[in-house]
Amino acid sequence: MPLCQTIACLQRRYQLFKGIELLYSDKDPLSTDIILYLSHDGIRLIFDSWSQLLKVIEVMDMTKTSLSYCGHLFSCPTDLPSIEKINQTFSATHPGVYDSSQRIYTLSWRGLSVLFPTDSNVTPYFAHGLSSLQFAEDCSLLVSKLIIYHGNSLAEARVPEMPISCYHGNCYCDSVEVLRCDGRTSGLRVKLKCERFDQGSYSDCRSETLTKDVYFGDCSQKIAGALGYPNSIYYKSEDKMKIHLPSTERKRQNEKADYFYNYFTLGMVSVALFSA
């Protein structure tokens, strides 16, 4: 799911979702993941910085949300799941991994990891090459964090291909290539991913990749023809540099305004500047 679509969904449900924080690196935005932190719900949505697609979901605070699996409620704020309940719900097929430095015991399945904090009376032991935990009979481990991802393990988590159900008639950017001519940048080559319906059938939908080129000097109609109609248009109402123009030119400039095409689903903001 794209970042822009997630933000739009949360904005439409503003009565339910409060205290949302957007975390990213302003100095090097592509170096670290983008995080949407739903503080009131104890959930972190982690997006890949390059593709801006959802990569990992972390339930950080189990006391703020309810979780179910196959219609079965296994966690709620008043009844946190124990390790026995997790095993019963997901049917553990192999022992977990114990991190002695952080005292964290992790049970994992494909696409899911569940973390249990331990205390000093919990000790690991090994038998037949498998590691497990040993703790007092009156002591049961409770879940502190649940992580959902795409891949065999959390270390191998990767961004999945966006499903057709998330397109909703929009185009999304697969890649952008800078076009250069005589050593100078002349434009962009954008690979777009969009929905395609076979003729006569609206139920059978698949993705299609289109390649579009846009160049400096293209008119607004040509940009819209290549990339589609923008998600929004921003009109620049004030230009502080006009103060340096002669008074006659300044008056003529005040009669028109520059405007920008913003393509949020393509990860492009102010992709073009036009003079009205």
Residue 58 has pLDDT above 60, yes or no: yes
Shared domain check, 141 and 28: yes
Last residue of a domain, one of 156, 185, 210: 156
Compute, in degrees rounded to 10, the torsion defined by CA atoms 101, 136, 82, 150. 30
How would residue 238 be classed by pLDDT, with cut points 50, 70 and 90?
low
Give the pLDDT confidence score for residue 63 in this predicted structure.
92
**3-class SS of residue 4:** helix
d(CA 262, CA 264): 6
- Type of residue numbered 92: A
How would residue 45 be classed by pLDDT, with cut points 50, 70 and 90?
very high
Shared domain check, 202 and 223: yes
Give the pLDDT confidence score for residue 137 in this predicted structure.
56
Which residues are CB-contacts of 232 (< 8 A; sequence separation ≥ 6)? 262, 264
How would residue 144 be classed by pLDDT, with cut points 50, 70 and 90?
very high
Shared domain check, 19 and 113: yes
- CB atoms near residue 190 (< 10 Å): 22
Q: How many separate domains does the chain show?
A: 2
Q: Within 13 A of 195's CA, how many CA atoms are on the CB side?
A: 15
Q: Is 184 exposed, middle or buried (0-12, 13-18, 19+ CB in 10 A)?
A: exposed
Shared domain check, 90 and 10: yes
Residue-number span of the structural domain to which 260 is assigned: 164-272
Shared domain check, 192 and 68: no
How would residue 111 be classed by pLDDT, with cut points 50, 70 and 90?
very high
How would residue 200 be classed by pLDDT, with cut points 50, 70 and 90?
low
Give the pLDDT confidence score for residue 246 in this predicted structure.
63
Last residue of a domain, one of 121, 156, 191: 156
Shared domain check, 97 and 182: no
CB-CB contact of 30 with 50 (8 Å): yes
Among residues of the chain, what percentage have pLDDT more than 90?
27
Residue 26 has pLDDT above 70, yes or no: yes
- CB atoms near residue 154 (< 10 Å): 16
Sign, CA torsion 28/29/32/38? positive
Q: What is the pLDDT of residues 60-84, one digit of tens each?
A: 999 999 999 988 899 999 999 988 8
What backbone torsions phi and psi does residue 264 show, to the nearest 5 degrees?
-70, -35
What backbone torsions phi and psi does residue 272 show, to the nearest 5 degrees?
-145, 150
User: Residue range 136-163: average pLDDT?
Assistant: 84
Shared domain check, 190 and 130: no
Highest-pLDDT range among 32-46, 80-94, 262-276: 32-46
Sign, CA torsion 154/157/162/164? negative
CB-CB contact of 230 with 224 (8 Å): yes
Last residue of a domain, one of 113, 133, 156: 156
What backbone torsions phi and psi does residue 248 show, to the nearest 5 degrees?
-65, -40
Shared domain check, 243 and 206: yes
User: Could you tell me which residues are beta bridge partners of residue 35?
Assistant: 23, 46
Residue 129 has pLDDT above 60, yes or no: no
Q: Residue ranges of the alpha helices (H) in 157-261?
A: 220-227, 247-254
Shared domain check, 132 and 16: yes
For 96-132, letters b (16+ CB in 10 Å) and e give: bebeeeeebbbbbeeeebbbbebeeebebeeeeeeee
CATH number of the CATH domain containing 64: 2.60.460
pTM: 0.75
Residue 145 has pLDDT above 50, yes or no: yes
CB-CB contact of 72 with 90 (8 Å): no
Q: What is the pLDDT of residues 4-24, one digit of tens each?
A: 889 888 988 888 888 899 999
Shared domain check, 52 and 119: yes
Shared domain check, 132 and 35: yes
CB-CB contact of 106 with 119 (8 Å): no
| Residue 164 tokens, joined | 């057709």
Shared domain check, 80 and 170: no
CB-CB contact of 213 with 188 (8 Å): yes
